[in-house]
Structure 1
Amino acid sequence: MSQPKTPLTGTTSDSTSHDVMPRSDDTGPWEAVMSHISQQVTEMEADIQALKNSNTQQDLAIQDARSSTFVHWGSSSCSNLSHTVYSGVVGGSDAGHSGAATNYLCLTMSPVFSDHAVPASLALLYGTEYETIDSHQNKDAVCAVCRPTLSTTVMIPGTNVCTPGWHLQYSGFLMAGEFKHQAGSEYICVDSNMENTVHGDANENGKLLYYTVTWCGSLPCTPYINNKVVTCAVCSK
């Protein structure tokens, strides 16, 4: 009696064929897999770049929120650490008026006026002159409003250099109104160049700027020295 034949591999006794595995040198399916992986990598890289751009925009927004402004007194421009918002002239109240405002203003050179009727009782606005008894005497002071690229700015009276780790915006002299005048004033740091307008050097007064000088007593000497002109520095970090 004859033995039944053993089915060949890959076939059944009823001749139904199974799927045939691809040969090792058949790269078609692997190319599809690699193409899919490459596409996923490209999409992931795009997502990472978008996230970086978003973080950069957030960082810039945070930096903008932290930024402030300061006035560069005695200069019509800002340092390379700041952007110039506008340039102008220094103004304020008259030094001889007992009811004067104390602060100095950096006035725009593009004023816009109101047609409001001028009242009988009012405040007055004048320009500002250097009262320095030197080459800057009676010249009209200028200014610039600056927005620093660094988030914090401070004026340091008594020195013309910055604390370590801080960056110098400008240095100059601590100036204010004359101590015998009726009007009060504030101390401001005026650039040592004391830039002025071309308006002239006529003695018209108004708001005035004098060097500040040390007076020992309650002021500790040392480290201060009596009767010395005081310097200042504007620094950012």
Structure 2
Amino acid sequence: MTISWYAVLFGVLTLRYELVRCTDKRILVDNPQELAEEVANLKELVAQQGQQIQSLTLALTKGTGSSFIRWGRTSCPGNESDLVYSGFMAGTFVDKTKYIGDHDGANYLCLSDNPTWSHYSDNADNIIYLTAVEYSFNPHQTSDIISFLGSNVFGQQVPCAACKVSRGVTMMIPGRNTCNSGWTKEYSGYIVGPFAGYSHGSEYVCLDDRPEGVNGTTNFDNSNELYFVEVHCGGGMECPPYVNNRELACVVCSI
């Protein structure tokens, strides 16, 4: 059953009506017993109406909210956000001798760090492979990567966190690092994507600007790499306001 704010308003108006109706009665002030009874009745009525309003408010908020993936972190950013699960960023396995993705998907996945299995086979039955995604950011890893990300995470695998907020709308804004007035900032960072030489398609995501690495993963495997996405002013990009070769910022906002 869908409950609107009209229901809450109706409850409030009912409470006001009952208070007016009760107080409109003539109470003999020289009769302490009658006065005490009316006060007790009013208190009970107020308590009942308060419970009804609370129930309606809970019904309105139950089941609402929105979610987002915080790429590069294992926790949610606060701001009344709750961790649903943490895990590992995964994408298409890339043959590093050919830079060819085998039967690839075009999106990144945030894999749970606590998997369960349905029916399975341990045989290599197909070549639709997922692999971990690693930080690369060439050529920044040998120069100014710390200025961008606060630490040198080159070669480490990328974690992720699935987060839920009570606010009903969440969106990622590419090209900005602040939210519009009235919105809550969840996190900001940089637009990242795969190596341009890969043959498979992928997606752009917003990597947290203070990323972590998966513990114990410092051996650069080169199977699926992340890079900053830069502005290219040729081909119709609006420059200004954009500037050629600059790394694109991003922010995730909710309201």
TM-score normalised by the shorter chain: which range applies?
A: 0.7 to 0.9
Q: Helix, strand or coil for the counterpart of 2:47?
A: helix
Query: What code does the residue aligned with 1:54 have?
Result: S
Distance 1:219 1:98 in 2: 32
Within the candidate set 193, 198, 208, 2:215 is matched to 198
Please name the residue that 1:94 is paired with.
93
Aligned partner of 1:224 in structure 2 is: 242
Q: CA RMSD in A?
A: 1.9
Contact 1:94 1:125 in 2 (8 A): yes
| Structure 2: gaps of 5 or more residues | 1-27, 95-99, 142-151
| Residue 120 to residue 47, structure 1, CA distance change in 2 (3 Å) | closer
State whether residues 94 and 183 of structure 1, in contact with CA within 8 Å, keep that contact through their aligned partners in structure 2: no
What's the TM-score, normalizing by structure 1?
0.80
Distance 1:78 1:39 in 2: 48
2:187: which partner in 1? 170
Structure 1's consecutive aligned runs of 4 or more residues displaced over 3 angstroms after TM superposition are: none
The correspondence of residues 1-237 of structure 1 with structure 2, limited to 5 A, is 30-61=31-62, 64-65=63-64, 67-81=65-79, 82-95=81-94, 96-117=100-121, 118=123, 120-133=125-138, 134=141, 135-217=152-234, 218-237=236-255
| Letter of the 1:195 counterpart | E
The answer (yes or no) to whether the contact 2:87–2:161 under 8 Å persists in 1 is: yes
Which structure dedicates a bigger proportion of its chain to helix? Answer: 2
Q: What count of residue pairs does the alignment treat as equivalent?
A: 207
Can you list the C-alpha shifts for 1:58-116, whole angstroms capped at 9, x where unaligned? 2322xx32x12110001111111211111111111124315211111111111113452
- Shift in Å, 1:119: 5.9
CA–CA separation in structure 2 for the residues paired with 1:98 and 1:120: 14
CA contact 1:92–1:206 (8 Å) conserved in 2: no
Report the Cα distance in structure 2 between the residues aligned to 1:228 and 1:53, rounded to whole angstroms: 51
State the 1:120 CA deviation: 3.0
Larger Rg over CA atoms: 1
Q: Distance in 2 between matches of 1:102 and 1:187?
A: 10
CA contact (8 A) 2:102 2:127 kept: no
Structure 1 gap segments, 5+ residues each: 1-26
The Cα of 1:51 is off from its aligned counterpart by 1.9
Instruction: Give me the identity figure in percent.
Output: 30
